[in-house]
Amino acid sequence: MMKFRFRRQGNDPQREKIKQELFAFNKTVEHGFPHQPSALTFDPQLQLMAIGTKSGAIKIYGSPGVEFTGLHRDTAVVSQIHFLQGQVRLLGHFLASRVTVLLLLRSCDLLCVGTEGGAIHFLDLPRLSLRDNQSLLLDQVMQSVPEDYRCGKSLGPVESLQEHPQQPGKILIGYSRGLVVLWDLSTRNAEQMFLGKQQLESLVWERSGRSFVSSHSDGGYSLWAVASGNTYTHQPVSSSIPYGPFPCKAINKILWRTTQSGCPVVLYSGGMPRASYGDRHCVTIQQDKQHVTLDFTSRVIDFFTVHTTNLEHDYDDPSALVVLLEEELVVIDLLTTGWPSVPPPYLAPLHSSAITTSCHLDDVPAKLWDRLATAGNSQGTQHAHGSWPICGGKNLAPTPKQQELLLTGHEDGTVRFWDVSAVAMTPLYKLSTANVFHTDSLQEEEWPPFRKVGCFDPYSDDPRLGIQKISLCKYSCRLVVAGTAGQVIVLGLSDERSDHTVDVSTVDLLQDREGFTWKGHDRLEPRTSPAPFPPGFQPLVVVQALPPASVTAVTLHAEWNLVAFGTSHGFGLFDYHRHTAVLARCTLHPNDSLAMEGPLSRVKSLKKSLRQSFRRIRKSRVSGKKRPVPTPTSKEANAALADQEEVAPVQRRIEPRSADDSLSGVVRCLCFADTYLRDGTHHGPTLWAGTNSGSVYAYALEVPGVGSGRGSGCVEAVLGKEIQLMHRAPVVSICVLDGRGKPLPEPYQASLDLATAPDMTNPHSVLIASEEQLKVFSLPKVGAKTKFKLTAHEGCRVRRVATVTVCSTAQEDYSETSLVCLTNLGDLHLFNVPVLRPQVRYDCIRKEDISGIASCVFTKNGQGFYLISPSEYQRFSLSAKVITEPLCTVELERPLEQHISLHSSGKSLIWSWSPLSCYNSLHSSGKALIWSWSPLCCYNSLHSSGKALIWSWSPPPLLL
């Protein structure tokens, strides 16, 4: 009898239209802190900040939700960037060896370029054309210097250029050797020379222009008076080495801000005593007797103050200090006593401790959200409205229809809650699990002026604290976090502080099996005395898996008060209501020696590695031959899963994997479901577990109070099915489908009328996704219904699987449930559920980006996140309807101009525009920057095509 399994059908135009209304792939916004920042600038008129990176990206930020991103076509370090104030135009300089410093005059029509050779060149803007014969060469300056100051030495590179705050056209030029020259651009003469003797690092004007401050390599700074008639000034008015007299590091940058109190605020980076604090990254703030040294954990890139720039005002009156560090952005409130930090509404360092896991929750109930926000506010992590000094632009995005949370687990044992409802990824609340255990935390004695600032901390007190898995029930406010040392912590949300002892229960997954000895790290030592727990999530019970291996899977069913967890040795089921273990199942194979060593073992068996390598070689040589497969535990499942038919032309035959591969007992996924397992007439609670060797275990549970339960009693678990996938590929996901082929609702959703009740009248099915194929089986007989082998390309493996609901853009009440798969090649595949018919495929992540693929997490409404750097999430959308992207504007008035052009001179770029326009707005759409305006009914726009910038407009036509 002939079998027609792969019938090729033509494209259905109606279905193609529906797919276009449902699916669309867009990379929408980058959340987090820019990776490897290299430059900083601020526009005080428009209240916009720009950050340049070593990869050539420039990111502009204003008020929360106002974000713009530009990317240079070549990977190049952005060494300096400057705003043309009030114009939404940027001047960027990419790393070049000869250029040391740039000065953009306030008039925005002239750029001064200092070089390593001591020369200064002048370029007209916006064309960036060099002014002929007007460069200031070092020889011209040397001729004006007194003979005894020359000493046959060069003045060195140009270190600093500063424009006079009150007299445009006069600039202060600082040379490395210490000479400072006040230069008049109009007369091309040196008005005054300041004969400094210390190596110069930076210059800054005092607001009135009657004095300036220089900082030096010896850790000191000097105040110089500017007086007409004095050609040469040999000595400063005053000098200070704040942390002397012993050798100190250079003060790299200094700011001098005047206040109405008469006491200036002095801010500088560096200057620390070399012997004791030379390795610190510091910015010091001094005003009269107030003195604070901000101690950071990463290098200071640059900093600026937010202050009054109107020249009619007599004082700077700084309100905030903004410090860009290598790993975070810190803002200090200079108006509040004690100069506290301002919690950021965005740009918070996601990697304050290395991210180890993440999970997403959509449609968070308002009650849970408010309680988390209150707990976060008590920690000082909540952003105070109105205190954020970078507030330019307008966020035009509509109010989110639902609140969304992203939870990130970290190496130091913390779980951080982020508001990802909109473009700005805002910290909401932080949970620490370290105080549940005894850890060796080091307390350093600090010198009185020091104050630890920022939250980036690359060091963990104990690597065993690392969070590996997270599960949160948003309706019952129950949270489960599982760690590297086998700890599974069940927590409840409390609005009050509590001091209590946490109960600890152990679950031995080896069950006294002989021949296995744990060689890895010890378990964490729980506290035996009451510990303080602040408002927020507080521990109810700690379940300790033995051996204390890293937890590889966890799932929570708050309605049944059950939590299941898995490691490389097996899985356990725990009743946290009665604090009793229900089940412990060992999944180890006799050859699972690596499972005995643990993830923190430093030495791996070379003999074992070589044995595995030779085994893989032998397998690859017989890939085309049939190999005997060990008899599965369940004959019924074996018959259903047998795959002896011809394979489709586009699908590669799956090669069975050896049963004795190392770590075959690792539990990859766990799933609770109310379904039919014992027979087709009685449904009830079940637990499903999938392992690295393709084994699936299904347990029927007796839960008191559920169905025909026995009231108050113990939970019982009975093995109902044990399935062995013939190809033995790791099981990535298990999902039970109701009678309509829909995934079962989350706990409490149906009972609280928050979701449609599952269909319990028609037969259920289970969708099992392994690394190589997707299969749907009927329940309770586990009969094969349909499958799809996702191995069309050699080496393709499924890495992430999720069910998502995708809504139509054309029909308000129409949606489809789809299965989305991310492979190790970085592509996304979407399938109909439960028929597993392929719908669309998108390239998402580079296949070389292993960490990005491993970090990917999907949302239930068709979006996703993955790490593009240790500190940044890329957000993307698979839904044509649900897209979270920047929608913002910067409005300004601009004088009439006659041309629009994009110029390049060397590695400096400037963007300019506006043909006969008075009103302009800057919009953002994804990563494309769109400039639009309406001069005399003309429409103009800047589009992005790949990395190339394409300019288009309509009448009158203008040439670039």
Q: Specify whether the CB–CB gap between 91 and 81 falls below 8 A.
A: yes
What's the token pair of residue 372?
A: 């988390």
- Concatenating the DSSP letter of every residue in 685-723 gives EEEEEEETTSEEEEEEEE-TTSSS--SS---EEEEEEEE
pLDDT(807) > 80: yes
Report percent pLDDT > 90 for the chain: 70
Per-residue pLDDT, averaged over 23-52, amounts to 96
Q: Residues 164-195: pLDDT tens digits? A: 999 999 999 999 999 999 999 999 999 999 99
Contacts 24+ apart (CB under 8 A), 954-957: 956/915
Q: Return the top range by mean pLDDT from 321-325, 748-752, 903-907, 932-936.
A: 321-325
Q: Give percent of the chain with pLDDT exceeding 70.
A: 82
pLDDT at 623 over 80: no
The residue type of 664 is: S
3-state secondary structure of 343: coil
Per the model's pLDDT, the better-predicted residue between 248 and 592 turns out to be 248
The answer to whether 275 touches 243, Cβ cutoff 8 Å, is: no
Q: How many angstroms separate the CA atoms of 940 and 960, rounded?
A: 14
Q: Please, where are the H alpha helices in 622-706?
A: 635-641
CA distance 235 to 148: 15
The pLDDT assigned to 178 comes to 95
How many Å apart are CA 406 and CA 419, to the nearest integer? 7
Predicted local distance difference test score (pLDDT) of residue 690: 98
Query: Across the chain, what does the average pLDDT equal?
Result: 85
pLDDT tier, 794 (very low <50, low <70, confident <90, very high otherwise): low
In the numeric block, which tokens belong to residue 464?
């065993």
Q: Mean pLDDT check: name the lowest of 51-60, 160-169, 708-717, 931-940.
A: 931-940
Residue spans of alpha helices (H) in 424-504: none
Lowest mean pLDDT among 50-64, 111-125, 249-263, 508-522: 508-522
The predicted pLDDT at position 36 comes to 96
Three-state DSSP at 368 gives: helix
* CA separation for the pair 219, 224 (Å, rounded): 17
- How far, in Å, CA of 498 to CA of 946, rounded? 55
Query: Which helix (H) or strand (E) segment is 139 a member of?
Result: helix 138-144
Q: Which residues contact 179 (CB under 8 A, 6 or more apart)?
A: 141, 145, 149, 155, 193, 194, 195, 196, 200
Look up residue 956 and give its two tokens: 């009158």
The band of 461, judged by pLDDT with boundaries at 50, 70 and 90, is confident
Q: Is the pLDDT of residue 915 over 70?
A: no
- pLDDT > 80? residue 313: yes
Distance of CA 260 to the CA centre of its chain: 41
Least confident span in 92-96, 561-565, 596-600: 596-600
Domains of the chain, CATH where assigned? 97-217 (2.130.10.10)
Instruction: Identify the band that residue 6 occupies on the pLDDT scale cut at 50, 70 and 90.
Output: very low
How many other CB atoms sit within 10 Å of the CB of residue 486? 29
Query: Residue 86 has which token pair?
Result: 């009030």
Q: pTM value?
A: 0.86
Of 511 and 35, the structure prediction assigns the larger pLDDT to 35
